[in-house]
Structures are given as C-alpha cells and as structure tokens.
C-alpha cells in the first residue's frame, strides 16, 4: 500500500520538476560564465599578461565563432593573436539545450593586465528556445566589471528566435 502511494506521488511530482531543472540549467550556465569571466580578469591582473576568454569547440583553441554554447576556454594571449599562447588555463564543455549569444558578434573577450576589458563591452543572452521567459544575461563593461541579470523581453525573444 505504501509503495503504491509513493508511486502515485512520484508520478505527480516528477513531471513538475522538469521546468525547475530546465530553469536551473540556464542559471548554472550563467553563473559558470560569470565565474569564468571573473577568473579571466583575475588571471590577467595576477599574471600581468593579456588573457582571453573565447568560444571553443575542442577546449584547446578558440573557434572564432560568435555563439558560445559549444564551450569556451581561458588562456593567456600576450601576442594578441586571438589564441592561447600555451595550454588553456581552463575550459568548459558544451551546454546541451541552451543558447548563448553575444549581442555584438564578439569572438573573444581580452582582459588587460590592469583587469580592464577596453573595447570588449558585450551582453550575452542565455536561454532555452522553449522557455524564453526565463532568459538571463551576462554583461561586461569596458572597466572589466561583469554582472548577471534577468533578460529583457526583447533580449529573451531574440535569444529564443536564434535557436
């Protein structure tokens, strides 16, 4: 009898968890992205070398793409060639089911040794195409400051349309 009741409760509860888990995936991606940008900024300041954050499919080289959901990496780029000069400091694999788009077509963000990201301002949109109302953004300023926020209705719609 107890097993039957637990089975019924589980059948009711599990489907209602799906939206929560999907929302959580977008939030986790946003938080990891913010942490990676902050790590890149800190690495540039501590090493005294320009350090880049870029999309990457293989975790070894920057892909040159403007979409970021396939993964990213962090690496020193003292020659400013748009690729890490050695093995990446950190990388992240792809995010399944999430779209990550920058609004200015940036193929990388480079932090200078003073922690600034001069000329690198951007807003990235994070969403699931089936739940645009839960879209989030990450914003970087020229000063290097990084922040996260809820996406505006316009940002959410453009993210969902990009798929």
Q: Assign 123 to helix, strand or coil.
A: strand
* Per-residue pLDDT tens over the stretch 115-136: 999 888 899 999 998 888 899 9
Domains in the chain with CATH codes: 23-162 (3.55.40.10)
**Which residue(s) pair with 147 in the sheet?**
139
pLDDT of residue 133: 87
Q: What is the pTM of this model?
A: 0.86
Q: Which residue has the higher pLDDT, 2 or 79?
A: 79
Reported confidence tier of residue 55, pLDDT bands at 50, 70, 90: very high
Longest dimension (CA), the chain: 70
Q: What is the mean pLDDT of residues 150-157?
A: 94
Q: How many CA atoms are closer than 13 Å to the CA of 108, on its beta-carbon side? A: 24
CB 109 within 8 A of CB 53: yes
Of 157, 152, 148, 158, the residue nearest 27 (C-alpha): 148
Phi/psi at 6 (5° precision): -60, -40
CB 120 within 8 A of CB 109: yes
pLDDT of residue 18: 59
Paired tokens of 13: 């509860």
Check the CA dihedral 23-138-39-106 and report its sign.
Answer: positive
């Amino acid at each position: 009898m107890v097993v039957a009741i637990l089975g019924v409760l589980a059948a009711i509860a599990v489907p209602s968890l799906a939206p929560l888990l999907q929302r959580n995936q977008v939030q986790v991606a946003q938080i990891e992205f913010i942490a990676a940008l902050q790590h890149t900024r800190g690495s540039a300041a501590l090493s005294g070398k320009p350090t880049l954050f870029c999309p990457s499919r293989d975790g070894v080289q920057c892909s040159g793409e403007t979409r970021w959901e396939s993964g990213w990496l962090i690496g020193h780029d003292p020659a400013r060639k748009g690729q890490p000069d050695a093995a990446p400091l950190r990388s992240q694999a792809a995010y399944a089911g999430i779209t990550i788009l920058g609004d200015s077509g940036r193929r990388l963000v480079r932090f200078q040794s003073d922690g600034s990201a001069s000329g690198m301002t951007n807003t990235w949109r994070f969403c699931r195409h089936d739940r645009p109302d839960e879209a989030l953004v990450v914003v970087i300023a020229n000063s290097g400051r990084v922040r996260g926020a809820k996406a505006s209705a316009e940002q959410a719609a453009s993210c969902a349309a990009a798929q």
